[in-house]
A and B are shown apart, each in its own frame.
Chain A
Amino acid sequence: METTTKGFKKTGTVVAVIVYCLLILWTLVNLFPIYWMFTFSLKSNDEIYGQNIIGLPHKFLWENYKTAAHTGRMGLYFTNSVIIAVATIILTLIAAVMATYAMSRIVWKGRKLMNKFFMLGLTIPIHSSIVPVYITLKKLGMLNSYQALIVPYAAFSLAMAILICMGFMDDIPIQLDEAARIDGCGLWGTFFRIIVPLMLPALSTVGIYTFLQCWNEFMFANVFNTKEFIRTLPVGIQQLSGQHTTQWGPIGAALVIATFPTLFVYMLLSKKIQSSFMAGAIKG
């Protein structure tokens, strides 16, 4: 059977053309709003409002970024987001790898059941926690603090992290553990010297996934951390746009500042990010 292009039968060229048109159209629909965001972040109101709506900026107004950073305090929100994301990733990784080790390498009754218990977390929505966690934080006087977000974020990332770690750890040959045991390593020695170093690729997958979750999270952040000094980027931007409804340039700049890190990481690691999203959905 002759084929013209890979996967298309000769008679299917019409289909091929239609398919490509659909794909290119959807690419434009996807990219245009993002392109527009980048361009209006560098424009003056005059250009945005009529003279030059969709073209590249005639005059690149970098001041918009200065305004966003200074009066918009984007630098502060950015730092808060970074601190919270990094701490969440560390906490999630420690808890997930330790728990996975206990369930994957140590033989005991009920380890399968324990794993199923953790997997419940994949289906529990954050709505179920918002009131009790808010009240607990209020009682402890911990609203408007880093830990007010770090702990809940880590808890909600945990199920996914354990799922990914389990997949990796089950693939590490058990003979390595046995060899380590003969050489005199205990459970803890095996964990730190054998398992953790071999788990590094899984840890980066978990780290990226957790980063994306907490960098973009809004509901908890909007409720638990309302004071300016502790706001994360999504909450900060929401406030900023409420104050500067008529000045689009600085808001555009703020949007770009918040989006850039995720898009940058995505460009470097697109395959890894996609596979981490697939893993969660297909097993969960």
Chain B
Amino acid sequence: MDKMKEKNKTAEVSLSADAISEKIKRRNKIYKGVSVFLFLTPALILFCGVLIFPIGASIYYSFFDWNGFGTKTFVGFANYVELFTSQIIPFPLALKNSLLLAVLSVFIQLPLSLALALALGRGIKGERFFLSVFFAPVLISTVIIGQLWLKIYNPDYGLLNSFLRQLGLEEKIMALTGDIKDVLWLGNSKIALGAAFVPILWQYVGYHMLLLYAGVKGVPVELREAAMLDGASYGQVNRYIVIPHIKPIIKISVIFAVTGSLKSFDLIWVLTNGGPLHATEVPSTLMINMLFLHNRYGMGSTIAVLLIALCFLFAVLISAAFRKED
């Protein structure tokens, strides 16, 4: 009898112990869930509020004709159609200009960056010094670089024209560009886009160089040495060992160069504001003008949406092109 009672008692105790541990487990689970939620809250609010939600809002606005405060009028795809057919809004031209910048970046800026990265990456004297100097312009505000280059390009007193005058070359260049008094680097619609590209090149070569340099540094020394022992020249080592090895980084550089050109704004805004005669107009300058000059928020959003879509599309296309090559 007594034994039975005892047995029951222990069963009761173990049962309640199970219940307690179950309870603790559940409480721990809730505690963990609440903690995770609280830890994520600040980041999620910022991220969704400023990045995720506005993408949706931009797409939504792009279907409306709206001046920002009055009533919105739903217009379907009319904004998109207008962008490509309008005689007044030079969107196709802006797109062409930014694609031209992309081509110049990929075929002039990147090879230069790659050459510098290859030269520095195999460990020469003064490596750190050169690296630091070449990267410095990336850290200077684009507005400051723009202002500086405005002074360099200034037709009357600028560094460039003064220098050309000393060499007696200004007249010759004027004959080529069709300028009358001085070479108007940023004021002549024939050469303005090219002139605006130079500061972009100047600022961002260092950025791509740094990325590529990191890649070159990652090439195993043994690979390089083995090739050298087999009698490969410096150029051959780069061509057959280093460049194939850093292909993933070259891909990223190309993507950054192209999407960066599509999005370019600061330097163009400061240097030319899209002029003269829309010769340097890019989608971003057009977008800002639509918003704050013409109060066309729907149209501004349309340009923003197209820009994001194009950046995404080009990133995918470039990745695919690199994959196909392998």
Contacts and interface: CB of A to CB of B under 8 A. Distances in A.
Contacts of A9: 228, 233-234
Contacts of B202: 29-30, 33
Given A27-B133, A33-B152, A238 B143 contact: yes
Contacts of A48: 157
Contact of B116 (A26, A99, A258): A26
Interface stretch (B9-17, B84-92, B185-193, B284-292): B284-292
Interface string A169-193: 0000000000000000011100100
Interface string B105-137: 000000000011001101111100011111111
B123 A262 contact: no
A54 B147 contact: no
A29 to B, nearest CB: 7
A33 B148 contact: yes
B58 A128 contact: yes
B96 interface: no
Contacts of B95: none
B266 A219 contact: yes
A132 B61 contact: yes
Contacts of A284: 252
A102 B126 CA distance: 43
A154 interface: yes
Contacts of B73: none
A234 B126 CA distance: 33
B249 A282 contact: yes
Given A8-B234, A125-B311, A234-B141, A131 B58 contact: yes
A274 B130 CA distance: 13
Contacts of B126: 23
A45 B33 CA distance: 67
Given A30-B136, A131-B291, A23 B116 contact: yes
A217 to B, nearest CB: 8
Interface stretch (B19-27, B39-47, B168-176, B317-325): B39-47
B4 interface: no
A18 B148 CA distance: 30
Interface string A123-156: 1110111111111001000000000000110111
A187 B32 contact: yes
B292 A223 contact: yes
Contact of A218 (B115, B116, B143): B143
Interface stretch (A34-42, A64-72, A198-206): A34-42
A78 interface: no
A6 B124 contact: yes
A166 B197 CA distance: 37
Nearest 9 CB-CB pairs, A to B? A155-B50, A99-B43, A102-B39, A132-B54, A216-B141, A132-B57, A234-B143, A95-B42, A129-B54
23 contacts: A6-B124, A8-B234, A16-B124, A23-B116, A50-B162, A91-B42, A95-B43, A96-B43, A98-B41, A103-B40, A106-B35, A118-B43, A127-B287, A129-B51, A131-B291, A131-B304, A132-B54, A155-B49, A187-B32, A216-B139, A216-B142, A219-B266, A263-B139
Interface of B: 31-33, 35-36, 39-44, 46-47, 49-55, 57-58, 61, 68, 115-116, 119-120, 122-126, 130-144, 147-152, 156-157, 159, 162, 202, 205-207, 210-211, 214, 228-229, 233-235, 249, 252, 256, 259, 263, 265-266, 269-270, 284, 287-288, 291-292, 297, 300-301, 304-305, 307-308, 311-312, 315
Given A129-B55, A223-B291, 14 more contacts: A9-B228, A30-B206, A33-B149, A36-B148, A49-B156, A53-B162, A96-B43, A98-B39, A99-B40, A99-B42, A121-B51, A241-B150, A248-B151, A277-B210
Interface of A: 1, 5-9, 11-12, 15-16, 19-20, 22-23, 26-27, 29-31, 33-34, 36-37, 40, 48-50, 53-54, 91, 94-96, 98-99, 101-103, 106, 108, 114, 118, 120-121, 123-125, 127-135, 138, 151-152, 154-156, 158-159, 162, 186-188, 191, 212, 215-216, 218-219, 222-223, 233-235, 237-238, 241, 248, 251-252, 255, 258-259, 262-263, 266, 270, 273-274, 277-278, 281-282, 284
